[in-house]
Amino acid sequence: MTKPDMIDDFCDTQSDTVRMVKIGVASAIYLASLWLIIAVQNDVLKDMHQGWTLGLMLVAAIMVIIISTLWLSALDITSSSDEPVAPRTRRARNVLVWSCVLGAAISVIFYLWPGDDWASIDMMSNGPIPASLAIVLAVIYVVGMIYSCLGWAKNIDEHERASINAGLYGAFLIYGILAPAWWILERASLVPDQDPMIMYTLVLTLFAAIWTYKRGT
């Protein structure tokens, strides 16, 4: 007997245009929300009593997690939990989960690192941090990301690789256009100083949007 989800499972449940618009709008809202949360938090932190700063940073961190989850849900990257998954696909997904765990671990270490001045070690700012914390986080990030990237590259299938390549190309184009334009405008004091983390977030968001669109549902 034919299974209910058998023939047309996941085929064109929504048109390419609708998906593209949905992913584009969700990514724009995600970036705007991220910017708003960080801007408000950094502004409020300047005048806030030290006892309240940890609470504010926790609220901001929770809001970032919520909007990131909403954005990922709009990208349709999850699959039904009861469908069979090929071993290499499972390994590739495990690497992605590991990357999220790595990001969470870095955040936890950042906030739990011993120190007196909470406001100055806020993760979502460019404020100075202790050298010991910087070294520990940089080592964890570099080693963890090398492991993740190699593990991911080894286990993705050819369709996933083609989708990733499209995302990388789009992200590189945007970087190649934005970075020099920003640098030129910055030299004329027309825009604020170039912020590497803003550029990183923009490029990574665009990469994820193109990658998930090309990957399909």
Partner 1 sequence: MKNRLKVLRAERDWSQAELAMQLDVSRQAVNAIETGKHDPSLPLAFRIARLFEANIEDIFDDEA
**DSSP string across 90-132:** HHHHHHHHHHHHHHHHHHHHHHHS--S-TGGG-TTS-----HH
In the complex with partner 1, which residue's Cβ is closer, 124 or 210?
A: 210
Q: How far is the CB of 12 from partner 1 (least distance, A)?
A: 7
Q: How far is the CB of 165 from partner 1 (least distance, A)?
A: 12
In the complex with partner 1, which residue's Cβ is closer, 13 or 194?
A: 13
Q: How far is the CB of 20 from partner 1 (least distance, A)?
A: 13
In the complex with partner 1, which residue's Cβ is closer, 6 or 190?
A: 6
Q: Could you give the CA distance from residue 183 to residue 144 in angstroms, rounded to a whole number?
A: 31
Quote the Cα angle for 41-206-138, to 5°: 60
In the complex with partner 1, which residue's Cβ is closer, 129 or 164?
A: 164
Q: How far is the CB of 101 from partner 1 (least distance, A)?
A: 21
For tokens 């970036």, the residue is: 31
52-60 long-range Cβ contacts below 8 angstroms, 24+ apart: 53/118, 53/119, 53/122, 54/111, 54/118, 57/111, 57/118, 57/122, 57/123, 57/124, 58/111, 60/124
The conformation of residue 1, written as its DSSP 8-state character, comes to -
Helix axes 196-215, 16-47, angle to 10 degrees: 160
In the complex with partner 1, which residue's Cβ is closer, 2 or 189?
A: 2
In the complex with partner 1, which residue's Cβ is closer, 205 or 212?
A: 212
- The contact set with partner 1 (CB under 8 A) reads 1-3, 5-7, 9-12, 79, 83-89, 92, 157-160, 162, 215-217
Q: Could you give the CA distance from residue 193 to residue 168 in angstroms, rounded to a whole number?
A: 25
Q: How far is the CB of 83 from partner 1 (least distance, A)?
A: 4
Q: How far is the CB of 76 from partner 1 (least distance, A)?
A: 10
